Amino acid sequence: MKLNDLLNEGMEFGTCKLETREDGTRVFSDPSSRQEEQNCPFCESGKQTYGDDTYDCEYCKGSGKTMEWVSDSPEMQVSNANGMAIQRDILGLEKPDYGGSIPPEKLPELRKKLFRMVNIDKDRESMHQAPTDQQGKVSVSHQGNVATIRRGARMISPGRSDDQVLSYAQRLLELVDYAIKNNLYVAWA
Ligand SMILES: [Zn+2]
């Protein structure tokens, strides 16, 4: 896991290998993932300052370097709502979920669909969504001679533009190409 993953809420699409362990458990893994030395994201050369004090960074123990997981495989981060829409309208799944995968043998067909979505405007229309701005309902409740007025929350949805749908399709096409080339699953979580 990369540090960024801790900060992101939402869904990540990527590619991975399905392995069966000796005890029969099936696990997904990223064959290109490895640990690499990187500059510590929390300090400057191992030192942190707090007011006038300078002290050794606790995260990297003052070395200024940390080992982080890195990977060459393409990935795509989206909000949960967009992740669900991608599964429904691009991947064609009837029951979108917070995690799932598509096996290598089904990818050539998906690749054709994505290729059309990238190149034919009309094939992206089902995923467009107009922005909405709805003021919640007002409700009044009476208790004795006191009336309490509650106003529902304002719900704003930024919608989904053609540019956004196009960028999902392009990114997924890269992912599927990479998966086909390396005989991997496309998976999300
Ligand atoms: Zn540090």
Annotated domain spans of the chain: 3-35+63-188
CB-based contacts of 139: which residues, under 8 Å, 6+ apart? 149, 150, 152
The residue ranking higher by pLDDT, 183 or 155, is 183
Is the pLDDT at 135 greater than 50, yes or no?
yes
Q: In angstroms, rounded to a whole number, what is the distance separating the alpha carbons of residues 104 and 180?
A: 7
47-51, 138-142, 155-159: least confident range: 155-159
Phi and psi angles of residue 62, each rounded to the nearest 5 degrees, phi first: 80, 5
Banded model confidence at residue 39, pLDDT cuts 50, 70, 90: very high
Is the pLDDT at 74 greater than 80, yes or no?
yes
> Encoding tokens for residue 78?
């989206």
> For residue 72, how far is its CA from the centre of ligand 1 (angstroms)?
24
pLDDT above 70: percentage of residues in the chain: 96
184 closest CA partner among 1, 44, 11, 29: 29
> For residue 39, how far is its CA from the centre of ligand 1 (angstroms)?
8
> For residue 50, how far is its CA from the centre of ligand 1 (angstroms)?
14
> For residue 38, how far is its CA from the centre of ligand 1 (angstroms)?
10
96 closest CA partner among 107, 81, 106: 81
Task: Return the pLDDT at 109.
Answer: 95
Is the pLDDT at 116 greater than 80, yes or no?
yes
Task: Return the pLDDT at 11.
Answer: 93
> For residue 78, how far is its CA from the centre of ligand 1 (angstroms)?
29
Task: Return the pLDDT at 129.
Answer: 79
Task: Return the pLDDT at 8.
Answer: 54
> For residue 29, how far is its CA from the centre of ligand 1 (angstroms)?
28
Q: In angstroms, rounded to a whole number, what is the distance separating the alpha carbons of residues 13 and 111?
A: 15
Cut 0.75: pTM above it: no
Task: Return the pLDDT at 3.
Answer: 47
Of these ranges, 76-80, 131-135, 139-143, the one predicted with the greatest mean pLDDT is 76-80
Of these ranges, 8-12, 68-72, 157-161, the one predicted with the greatest mean pLDDT is 68-72
Question: Which residue type is seen at 102?
Answer: I
Banded model confidence at residue 1, pLDDT cuts 50, 70, 90: very low
Which helix (H) or strand (E) segment holds residue 142: the answer is strand 138-143
